[in-house]
Each structure stands twice: as structure tokens, then as C-alpha cells.
Structure 1
Amino acid sequence: MRDDITRESIGFVDSYYFHEFLKSYSDYMENALNKRVLGTVFSWDDYDKIKVELIDVAYNNYFSEL
């Protein structure tokens, strides 16, 4: 929910999640984790890798460019 996002992070969410995340996520799942996007059961291990290698990097890049 948008109400759960801090004011400082809303620009990142609008920029990254609505424009880049799905492509990055799909590419990462298929190339780095060697898994199909559709049909893959959620796992916290996969999430932890995606968070560190995609989301955290994009977040840091976004705020370093401001």
C-alpha cells in the first residue's frame, strides 16, 4: 500500500517498481537463479538474493543520483 511507503522512498518506488523491477526480476530469476518466473514457488532464499542484488542496488543508485 502506498500509505506504508515513506515520503522519502515514494520517488524510488514510482521510478523503480513501476518501470524497471519486473524486467530486472525476470532477467535475474532466469539468468542468475536459473528459474522460470512463472511457476516458481516463492522462497525467502530467492527473495534475499533479489533484495540484495537488485532492490538494494537500485535503491542506492537512485538516491546517489539525487
Structure 2
Amino acid sequence: MKQTLLFDKINSLKIWWWVSRYKKCPKCGSNELGIGKGAFEVNEYHFKRTCKCGLNITRGRLYLTEKPYNK
């Protein structure tokens, strides 16, 4: 199947917005980062926030193998 590009490269404004939104874990409320506590992973294509409670949020460049809905 043809892949559909949903997001292009992310910019610094998007990174700032995601960090400010996810600096505190929406699941458990933790704001700790470090080994075994949680992490931010940022590059030019995606943003990822993980937490010790198991939360895993990824935002940015996504590819779908199918259309999200049929018209």
C-alpha cells in the first residue's frame, strides 16, 4: 500500500509546545527525567515522551499504511 505523509519536519515552536504540554506526565503527574524515571527524545522528525509509569507519547512525522477513513 502507498504510504501517506501526515507530518513533515517539526520546528522549534512545535518542540516548545510539546515540551511545555508534556513536561508533566498526563498519566501519573511525574515531572522527573532520568534513567528509569522518564525521558524526552527530540529530533528533526519526531518528539517522544516516556515515563516510569509506562506512558509513551510520540508526536511528529507519522506514516500510515492505510487511509485514516474511507469517504
Q: Do they fold alike, i.e. is TM over 0.5?
A: no
Higher Cα Rg, which structure = 2
**Hey, which of these two has a bigger chunk of helix by percent?**
1
TM-score w.r.t. structure 2 length? 0.32
TM-score w.r.t. structure 1 length? 0.33
Which structure carries more relative contact order (alpha carbon 8 Å, separation 6+)?
2
